[in-house]
Amino acid sequence: MKFTEAQLESAIIELLGVEGYPHVLGEAIERQPQEVLIKADLRAFLAKRYAADHITPQEIEAVIKQLEAYSAADLYESNKAVMKLISDGFLLKREDRSQKDLYIQLIDYSELVAFREPNPGEVPSMVGLLEAEACPHVIVGVAYTLQASLKGVDITTNCQAVPDSFEILHKKTLQFVKKNIKQ
């Protein structure tokens, strides 16, 4: 049986449902159809998650502008770079340079047993200042990771440091997909 993108999507939706995450169709989300990033949700998440660190609205906007800056021209490389930010997090250089850089995670991994703060140099840095120009597109994709893995391609070989929490999530997702989709 040939493995299709629809089967992959169904498996991911089911896996996330088992973990307590509801599925919402794209057209039900308030955003422009060509936009991938749900900015209002990201702003609210960052503001709440990093309130104790006094993250500023300008720093939040800088994170959003950085994510939007990835080119749609090279879809694979853009997806790979954004997935690295999602899985590893990044250091946000503070607007107020007297403040310590802020380790930002776009997914809350704090409930995972294997969660740990990265060592210096393990994750990229991002500047908390807005650039004058920003590209209007961001491409965020998870499916290529699973597709590559199901084809036997080890996607972690190009990563210098993959946090244990991502490896656990990656392995759990693969187990679920392989168990629930007959190839």
Task: Encode pLDDT of 63-73 as tens digits.
Answer: 999 998 888 88
The yes-or-no verdict on residue 103 having pLDDT over 90 is: yes
The mean of the pLDDT values for the chain is: 74
More confident residue, 150 or 177: 177
Quote helix, strand, coil % in the chain, to nearest 5. Answer: 45, 5, 50
More confident residue, 104 or 146: 104
pTM: 0.55
CB neighbour burial string for 54-64, b if at least 16 within 10 angstroms, e if fewer: ebbeebbbbbb
When mean pLDDT is compared over 25-34, 92-101, 168-177, the highest value belongs to 92-101
Average pLDDT of span 125-141: 41
Residues 2 and 142: their CA atoms lie apart, in Å, by: 20
